[in-house]
Chains A and B, each alone.
Chain A
Amino acid sequence: AQSVTQLGSHVSVSEGALVLLRCNYSSSVPPYLFWYVQYPNQGLQLLLKYTTGATLVKGINGFEAEFKKSETSFHLTKPSAHMSDAAEYFCAVSPNRDDKIIFGKGTRLHILP
Chain B
Amino acid sequence: EAGVAQSPRYKIIEKRQSVAFWCNPISGHATLYWYQQILGQGPKLLIQFQNNGVVDDSQLPKDRFSAERLKGVDSTLKIQPAKLEDSAVYLCASSPTARTRGNEQFFGPGTRLTVL
Q: What is the interface of chain A, defined by CB distance below 8 A to chain B?
A: 4, 9, 32, 36, 41-46, 49, 51, 90, 92, 94, 96-106
Contact = CB atoms under 8 A, between A and B. Distances in A.
Contact of B102 (A41, A94, A106): A94
A9 B40 contact: yes
Given A98-B99, A99-B102, 20 more contacts: A9-B40, A43-B91, A43-B93, A43-B106, A43-B107, A43-B108, A43-B109, A44-B43, A90-B42, A90-B43, A97-B101, A99-B31, A99-B99, A99-B103, A100-B45, A100-B48, A101-B105, A105-B40, A105-B41, A106-B41
B100 A45 contact: no
B-side interface mostly: loop
Nearest to A32: B102
Interface of B: 3-4, 31, 40-45, 48, 56, 91, 93, 95, 99-110
A94 B42 contact: no
Contacts of A99: 31, 95, 99-103
Contacts of B102: 32, 49, 51, 94, 99
A56 B105 CA distance: 21
17 contacts: A32-B102, A36-B107, A41-B109, A43-B108, A43-B109, A44-B43, A46-B104, A49-B102, A49-B104, A51-B101, A90-B42, A96-B101, A98-B101, A99-B102, A101-B105, A102-B42, A106-B41
